[in-house]
Amino acid sequence: MHSSHRRLAIAALALAPLALAMFPAAAQDTQPVRLIVGYAAGGPVDQGARLFGQALSKELGVPVMVENKTGANATIAGSEVVRAKPDGLTLWFAASPTITISPNVMTKMPFDPAKDLAPVAPILSYYNVLVVNNNEPYKNVRELVAHAKANPGKLAYGSAGVGGSNHLGALLFANRSGIEMNHIPYKGNAPAMTDVIGGQLNMMLDIISTASTYIHSGKVRALAVTSPQRNASLPDVPTFAESGIEGLKGFDVGGWYGVFGPKGLPPELVAKLNKAVNAALAQPDLKKRYKELGYDEWTGSPQKLAERAAKERAMWATVTQGIVVD
């Protein structure tokens, strides 16, 4: 081999490892991001995730693919993320109950949300609204409480399942107002709402973003929202605190969506993703759509997400004593 050719070959061999090392990073910048959702397509969490995914795709410059991994209080979705490589290509669009409630009630929680996930960014806050069948005699929370006290144990409320946020929110309402009601768990909010409309069920708490359709169409009657202030999409519906019942002063029971990645995400990658998430949430179209659905803005740092998660895990620990989900 000619000496000049030999020198070129040696130089090429020397540079080969560097080229190989650079390739994954370049590939990563063009690969789609998987956004894992723990609930079925068409539900409120899936709806929120798909709107967000479109906005995030614009900021990252790559496709964001929503994947529904349902079951086990959304812990199947969480487990998928926990097992993923910490390269930023697999993220979890998580609803707060799996992060804050499930650890307190599940006997076999497959991961520790406080230790096995990397908080990336808050997305939004949501609240529930108490809806009742149109034929129920009570027109507000105070009348409902009086009716329940006169008929102990005869009223029933539905939920998306034992340990869900609408189960525990209704339980907290009952406890604080001193009434007894029966809990009827369903496999999702939709079948419970169907039975409220049909009269097989007296009432339920449902996320405002999905319940508002039934309220505005007159299929159910709204009595109160679980937020500390009235919701912009339901301005005529009072808060629980407005009932004037002593135990409901300061009643504030909501949830949130946040983005998490697997443990071990490099700090610089978390910072990059956080910046992209906040830029996506600032897009006017997404802000407008989320507001129309009754969501509240809640954005910020990974630390803000982690702190709220820890605070609410501690709060739900006191409410969920004696509740066990296998």
In this prediction, what percent of the chain has a pLDDT beyond 90? 72
Q: Are residues 238 and 160 in the same domain?
A: yes
- pLDDT category, 29, cuts 50, 70, 90? low
Cβ-in-10-Å burial (0-12, 13-18, 19+) of 322 comes to exposed
pTM: predicted TM-score of the whole model, two decimal places: 0.78
What digits encode the pLDDT tens for the residues 177-234?
999 999 998 877 888 999 999 999 999 999 898 899 999 999 999 999 999 999 988 9
**For residue 140, is it within any domain?**
yes
Number of domains in the chain: 2
> What is the CB neighbour count within 10 angstroms for residue 284?
7
Whether residue 26 is contained in a domain is answered as no
- Between 29 and 266, the more confident residue is 266
pLDDT of residue 13: 41
116 and 147 belong to one structural domain: no
- Residue 236 inside a domain? The answer is yes
CA atoms within 13 A on the CB side of 265: 30
Strand partners, 106: 325
- Which of 223, 248, 273 represents a domain boundary (last residue)? 248
Of residues 117, 128, 105, 161, the one with CA closest to residue 251: 128
Q: What average pLDDT does range 106-110 have in this prediction?
A: 91
Range of the domain at 142: 127-248
Check whether residue 120 and residue 144 sit in a common domain.
Answer: no
Supply the CATH number for residue 52's domain: 3.40.190.150
Q: Residue 35 in contact with residue 49, Cβ under 8 Å?
A: yes
